[in-house]
């Protein structure tokens, strides 16, 4: 049977957790992070900041951040992550529905040599105006109608697959078929013009 530790050797979970996190993560001296000439080898999302050092998960992993509106998710996690990734010259995809990250980081990233592509589905004129139906349109125009149909079908499947009901999938599949038909009809109309 294990004996109890003396009072002066009691386990302090807060200190132990910090030590465990520090041992598992890559240490970066953040006192120089505002220096744009700093080049890091690899980095990731900052998990802990202690005594002028950031501890980051530098492995190829995903990070999910939960927090209510106004809990500073963007300022405390996302902005530093974008900054650290830029210092390491790593590629990144940033989902930014309010365009605040774009407004705050795009100029600095362009100065560092990044090519920035902005895709805005709400206002396509703001951004690079990416059209997912352009590729099947080019296939159709070049005579590769089967490839165009396959590509449109892939788009429809990816749009609809998250919403398919397990109870009665008939209506979901019917909606997918309707979307496929509407896209095909619009394409035929544009080609006929």
CA–CA gap between residue 119 and residue 125 (Å, rounded): 9
Beta strands in the chain (DSSP E): 26-29, 46-50, 53-56
Q: What are the pLDDT digits (tens) for 25-68?
A: 565 555 544 444 556 777 888 877 777 677 777 777 777 888 88
Q: What are the pLDDT digits (tens) for 139-193?
A: 888 989 899 889 999 988 888 776 667 788 888 888 889 999 998 888 777 766 6
CA 91 to each of CA 24, 75, 85, 128: distance values in angstroms, whole numbers, following the listed order: 23, 20, 7, 18
Domain boundaries, the chain: 7-92, 134-192
pTM higher than 0.75: no
- Rounded mean pLDDT, 79-88: 86
Confidence of residue 113 (pLDDT cuts 50, 70, 90): very high
**pLDDT in the model for residue 97:** 84
Confidence of residue 110 (pLDDT cuts 50, 70, 90): very high
Query: Which of the pair, 23 or 140, is modelled with greater confidence?
Result: 140
């Amino acid at each position: 049977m294990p004996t109890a530790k003396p009072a002066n050797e009691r386990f302090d979970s807060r200190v132990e957790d910090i030590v465990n996190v520090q041992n598992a993560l890559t240490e970066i001296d953040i006192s120089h992070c505002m220096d744009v000439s700093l080049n890091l080898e690899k980095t990731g999302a900052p998990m802990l900041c202690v005594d002028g050092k950031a501890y980051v998960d530098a492995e190829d992993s995903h990070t999910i951040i939960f927090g209510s509106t106004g809990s500073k998710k963007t300022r405390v996690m996302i902005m530093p992550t974008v900054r650290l990734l830029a210092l390491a010259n790593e590629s990144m995809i940033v989902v930014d529905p309010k365009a605040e990250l774009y407004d705050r980081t795009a100029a600095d990233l362009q100065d560092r040599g990044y090519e920035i592509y902005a895709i805005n589905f709400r206002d396509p004129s703001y951004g690079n105006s990416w059209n997912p139906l352009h590729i099947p349109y080019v296939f159709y125009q070049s005579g590769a109608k089967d490839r165009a149909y396959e590509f449109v079908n892939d788009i429809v499947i990816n749009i609809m697959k998250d919403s398919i009901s397990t109870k009665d999938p008939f209506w979901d599949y019917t909606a997918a078929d309707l979307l496929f038909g509407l896209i095909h009809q619009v394409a035929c109309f544009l080609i006929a013009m």
